[in-house]
Amino acid sequence: MTRFITLLMTFWSQPLYLFLLPAIGLTGLGSSQAEASDVVFWHTMNTEETKTLEAIVKDFEKENPGTKIKIQNVPFSDAQNKYKISAQAGKAPDVLRSEIAWIAEFANLGLLEEIKLSEADQKDFLKVAQSYAFWEGKNYGIPQVTDCLALLYNKRIFREKKVSVPLTMEELAQTGKTLSSPKEKKWALSFNPAGYWAQVFIWSFGGGLIRGEDSSIHIADPESIQGIQFMIDLMQVYGVSPKEMDFVNGYNNMMTGFKQGRYAMIINGPWSTSDALNGDEFKDPENLGVAIIPRGPKGNFSPVGGHSYVVFKGSTVKPEAIKFANFLSETKNQILLAKNHNLLPTRQSAWNSSEVKNLKLISAFKSQLDVATSRPVIPEGGGIYTALDRSVEDALSLNKDAASAMRKVQKQWQKLLKHRKNK
Amino acid sequence: MAEAIKAQKKQVGPAGSGWVAWVFLAPAILAMGLTVFYPLIKGIWFSFTDIDQYSMGNAFEAPSYQFIGLENYKEILFSGDSDLLRVLGQTVLWTVVNVSFHFGLGLMFALLLNHGFKGRSLFRLLLMVPWAVPAYVAAFSWRWMFNGDYGLFNQILQNFHMQPINWLSKPFWAMTAAIATNVWLGYPFMMVSILAGLKTIPGALYEAAMLDGASRFQQFRQITLPMLRPVSLSVILLGFVWTFNMFPVIYLVTKGGPYGSTEILATYAYREAFESWNLAEASTYGVIILSILIVLSSIYSRMTKETRV
């Protein structure tokens, strides 16, 4: 019996991460099945993109005969937690394709290897994409793809109604009169009723999320509340968007409606263009237009997203892993992904190539990207949307007024930030 | 006589052959210890600490969380802006409505199936379908049917020239949608258990009642219900505990929304733990859920013991 107790005590003193290990299941332990010299690589690309990725990986293996790459696909929605749990336990893959907002969190937890960029690379990578990889003065990621929200529109509808694409938020508010017809279930604009989309309006009216060295919270500033109020007014006052939205199916309904011609405009990113082009309205791809999001009182704004490659601190094959991550983001490979899948490159040299310049959809997004805004680069960058989403629902369904909904976010974010500040 | 009993006790009692019993029990104790008691005790311990993702420690840094006594409990139970009461109310509503429908429908269908009629086996097969469908598959299909713009239910409403309902964006309708899904998923278990209970009631009782001139309804009240009592009580308790912690239906049908109005304690604790990484607070919620269930089920079992005939 005493022996049993000692055994129990040994388990007791183990850190928490060992206890979490079973939660990641079989796929999580890729590195244990691999040979010592293998580079394990987790990515979150879709089936189509994976085909191109596999070709790029083969090129790398041809150029580096000593190194073998083990590719594993992880669903995007699970990747953040899965990586965090396995990395905390010291068993993470050597290279991860990470959403840019996760990098600061992983770095702050001490899970990532610093990656030094050459001077040429520093100049070549777009600032908006690279800024996410910096945490406390060190660089932890190599940008693969960037994106931002823009205004996608149905050219046919605009031609038939003889109106032009709105350039300012004021003009957008007026489109309800010409483009909406609730009886026929037609509206001028649809957006996903979620926090990520709300940023567009918050920033355009001069508000903010979390800013500065001291991570001060601006979500309940009068300007931020004005932005949220404008979203409400688009639905309730101006008749630009439907009065009620399905929050659970918001994104899918926006896409379905756009493809069927129910909405003249939507706000969405480059990743959605291939889906839109599958719709009846866009059998002729020329009918899909991409424009800059209307200018608010304080300017043009759109949140920057994207993915970068990061290398695990506990990797046993660091030089190979860093070499591989760099290879994946080389100009020629970015051009390949842009051509095949409309992914926006993160290198100026890729944008300058004639091949990318000829891609119409991508070029339209570039003018939006030039005026896009970085989201807060803080460890909580991925976590802040849980509270924001909920309060945006609160405000858009008129359950709470915009001001008290945003004050609730402020409170929850204070709690979220406290953990890091206590560290 | 007394000696004989003593001898018998010695033979079967654990005193003489104790170590053999322990050997046979060891694998089960070990497995239970590792998978149930160890995490349970650790979870209770975390609820007295300030653990979060920074202090939990990792392969490169030692854990640094500290014992903070009852702080977490104070924060959740007594601070003004705690969500506990609201979420607890939603959980109780969710559980009571669900279990009532499960039991009511289960009893109705069981009584129906207990009578011979044409096509009974096909009917029984159809009624069992929800049990064969994995919860998450069912949840996704129901979510699609409740879609505000393109869902099946709204198309039916519109065919009858009625106003469509934005099911998942209104607290009342969202709760209705989630409950409908879970009722559909949960009644077959009750039905099967009650049907098995019905089969154990001796036919002689009904024959005697018929001779005494009892009506169908009297037979139901005086024979069927009392004889079903033991089965009913245990399936209701099981149903209560399962529904109280029914994570996938809420998580997939309404995502706890709109604005948290369909959140139950289990989904709320999950969000705290793995979206906000408030591990200490989530553990505290876990302990509170456990306490509520222990208290309720002991009250329940005492109540049922006292009234047993």
Q: What is the pLDDT of residues A266-300, one digit of tens each?
A: 999 998 888 899 899 999 999 999 999 999 999 88
For A10, nearest residue in chain B (alpha carbons): B38
Which one is predicted more confidently, B274 or B13? B274
Say what percent of chain A tops pLDDT 70.
Answer: 91
Chain A residues inside the 8 Å CB shell of B172: none
State yes or no: pLDDT of B15 exceeds 80: no
A308: helix, coil or strand?
strand
Q: How far apart are CA A173 and CA B147, in angstroms?
A: 27
- Angle of helix B171-199 relative to helix B120-132, nearest 10 degrees? 130
Size of interface A-B (CB pairs under 8 A): 118
CB atoms B254 and A386 under 8 Å = no
CB atoms B33 and A8 under 8 Å = yes
CB atoms B258 and A419 under 8 Å = no
**pLDDT of B240-286, one tens digit each?**
989 998 999 999 999 887 988 999 999 999 988 887 788 899 999 99
DSSP character for B245? Answer: T
When pLDDT is averaged across residues B173-180 and rounded to a whole number, the result is 95
Give the one of B34, B60, B271 whose C-beta lies nearest to A110's C-beta. B60
pLDDT for residue B75 = 87
CB atoms B148 and A416 under 8 Å = no
Give the one of B42, B166, B260 whose C-beta lies nearest to A246's C-beta. B166
Largest CA distance in chain A: 86
pLDDT for residue B52 = 87
Exposed/middle/buried for residue B63 (C-beta within 10 Å: 0-12, 13-18, 19+): middle
**C-beta of residue B219 within 8 angstroms of C-beta of residue B206:** yes
CB atoms A397 and B259 under 8 Å = yes
| Residues linked to residue A142 through DSSP beta bridges, in sequence order | A309
| Highest mean predicted confidence (pLDDT) among A187-191, A300-304, A363-367, B29-33 | A187-191
Q: How far apart are CA A77 and CA A99, in angstroms?
A: 11
pLDDT for residue A370 = 86
Chain B residues inside the 8 Å CB shell of A378: none
Q: How far apart are CA A415 and CA A193, in angstroms?
A: 24
Give the one of A81, A88, A253 whose C-beta lies nearest to B59's C-beta. A88
State yes or no: pLDDT of A241 exceeds 90: yes
**Residue-wise over B161-178: b if at least 16 C-beta within 10 A, else e?**
eeeebbbbbbbebbbbbb
**pLDDT of B196-221, one tens digit each?**
999 999 989 999 998 998 888 899 99
When pLDDT is averaged across residues A72-96 and rounded to a whole number, the result is 90
Query: Which is nearest to A399 in space by CA: B94, B149, B172?
Result: B172
| Residues linked to residue A382 through DSSP beta bridges, in sequence order | none
Which one is predicted more confidently, A18 or A423? A423
Q: How far apart are CA B56 and CA B50, in angstroms?
A: 9
Give the one of A11, A245, A422 whose C-beta lies nearest to B169's C-beta. A245
State yes or no: pLDDT of A188 exceeds 70: yes
Q: How far apart are CA A309 and CA B294, in angstroms?
A: 48
State yes or no: pLDDT of B2 exceeds 70: no
**Which residues have CB under 8 Å from A365's CB, separation 6+?**
A147, A148, A150, A270, A290, A344
**CA B242 remoteness from chain centre:** 1
**pLDDT of B85-138, one tens digit each?**
999 999 999 999 999 999 999 999 999 998 878 888 898 889 989 988 998 899
Reported confidence tier of residue A29, pLDDT bands at 50, 70, 90: very low
For A380, nearest residue in chain B (alpha carbons): B276
Exposed/middle/buried for residue A246 (C-beta within 10 Å: 0-12, 13-18, 19+): buried
Say what percent of chain B tops pLDDT 90.
Answer: 57
Chain B residues inside the 8 Å CB shell of A313: 60
Q: What are phi and psi of A244, to 5 degrees?
A: -125, 145
State yes or no: pLDDT of A5 exceeds 80: no
pLDDT for residue B67 = 92
Q: How far apart are CA A160 and CA A262, in angstroms?
A: 14
pLDDT for residue A33 = 47
The dihedral formed by the CA atoms of A55, A59, A60 and A62, expressed in degrees to the nearest 10: 130
| Number of CB atoms found within 10 A of residue A416's CB | 21
Tokens describing residue B6? 């003593």
Tokens describing residue A234? 């688009």
State yes or no: pLDDT of A164 exceeds 80: yes
Chain B residues inside the 8 Å CB shell of A12: 42
Q: How far apart are CA A48 and CA A340, in angstroms?
A: 9
Largest CA distance in chain B: 84
Chain B residues inside the 8 Å CB shell of A190: none
CB atoms A313 and B58 under 8 Å = no
Lowest mean pLDDT among A2-11, A174-183, B155-164: A2-11
CB atoms B143 and A249 under 8 Å = yes
CA-based torsion, B84, B86, B88, B94: positive or negative: negative
**C-beta of residue B168 within 8 angstroms of C-beta of residue B177:** yes
Reported confidence tier of residue B17, pLDDT bands at 50, 70, 90: low
Q: How far apart are CA B67 and CA A147, in angstroms?
A: 44
State yes or no: pLDDT of A10 exceeds 80: no
Q: How far apart are CA B289 and CA B295, in angstroms?
A: 10
**AA letter at A49:** E
Instruction: Tell me whether strands A68-73 and A38-43 are parallel, antiparallel or unpaired.
Output: parallel
Give the one of B38, B168, B253 whose C-beta lies nearest to A247's C-beta. B168
Q: Kindly report the pTM of this predicted structure.
A: 0.84
Q: How far apart are CA A302 and CA A368, in angstroms?
A: 8
Average pLDDT, chain B: 88
- For chain A, how are helix, strand and coil distributed in percent, rounded to 5? 55, 15, 30
**CA A91 remoteness from chain centre:** 25
Residue with tokens 């567009």: A200
Reported confidence tier of residue B300, pLDDT bands at 50, 70, 90: confident
DSSP character for A344? Answer: B
CB atoms A248 and B168 under 8 Å = yes
CB atoms B148 and A420 under 8 Å = no
**Is this prediction's ipTM beyond 0.95?**
no
Q: How far apart are CA A353 and CA A138, in angstroms?
A: 30
Q: How far apart are CA A99 and CA A75, in angstroms?
A: 12
pLDDT for residue A214 = 84
